Chain A
């Protein structure tokens, strides 16, 4: 069974740091780009970060640039999100997701998330 399981969420004080993990199973993890997506309480989905299958390229939402770092260990089938300088605005459920892609003749490549974990909760509060 294809599965993603997040862990590492916790209550942390403003200005603190946290490292999230996402364990993948049931597929060849090293073949896939991966994402982190977050959802604040009662709000919508917000993309956070993306990493290439071999870890060589990363990209981030503007709101987390310089504070968050996405990484992966393909030998351990695990995705990470290192979060620093946390504020209340970072309070959310954090989901990891697998990326799949395709080719549209008119539009070129497209990217979407076909497998999601159940999420891990990060709360930033004093």
Chain B
């Protein structure tokens, strides 16, 4: 089955840029979606189709996807950005087609 690989953790100082990767075999051929989950809260959609931000998501958040890696970039990181971030794709070729999530990345703002 298709596997999405994320680094377990990323640390960044306030005001700096955070980059969270999501690796998968030829992931550039798939649309990647990203979710933010703060402690004790439900996930929140941050991007769909690689880089499209729903209303309410700051422009500081951007996304890209090419080759074997999709990347979420957060510019001018704020303390409030501290959360777990998950990438997601739809896998249609396996015996059990469905939603695939990455393992998640904990963003720590130092």
List the interface of chain A (C-beta within 8 A of B). Answer: 35, 37, 44-47, 50, 59-62, 65, 95, 97, 100, 102, 104, 106-107, 110-114, 116-119
0/1 interface trace, chain B 13-51, chain A, CB 8 Å (1 if under): 000000000000000011101010100011111001100
Known: A107-B30, A110-B90. A45 touches B96 (CB 8 A): no
- For A112, the closest partner residue in chain B by CB is B33
A-B contact count (CB 8 A): 78
Residue of A nearest to B32 (CB): A110
Q: A112-B88, A114-B45, A119-B42 are in contact. Are A61 and B31 (CB under 8 A)?
A: no
Q: Is the CB of A100 within 8 A of B48?
A: yes
Interface SS of chain A: strand
Within the assembled complex, what's the spacing in Å between the Cα atoms of A46 and B102? 9
Chain B residues in 8 Å Cβ range of A116: 42-44
Enumerate chain A residues within 8 angstroms of B100, measured Cβ to Cβ.
47
Partner of B97, one of A59, A107, A110: A59
Q: Which residues of the other chain, A, contact B86 by a CB distance below 8 angstroms? A: 44-45
A59 and B98 contact, Cβ closer than 8 Å, known pairs A44-B104, A107-B31, A110-B31: yes
Neighbour of B49 across the interface among A46, A65, A102, A119, CB < 8 A: A102
Apart from A113-B43, A113-B45, A116-B44, what are 4 other A-B pairs with CB-CB below 8 Å? Answer: A44-B104, A45-B101, A60-B98, A62-B96
In the bound complex, do residue B98 and residue A102 qualify as a contact, i.e. CB atoms below 8 Å apart? Answer: no
CB distance from A33 to the nearest CB of B (A): 11
**B-chain residues with CB within 8 Å of residue A110 when the two chains form the complex:** 30-31, 33, 48-49, 90
Cβ contacts under 8 Å, B90 to chain A:
110-111
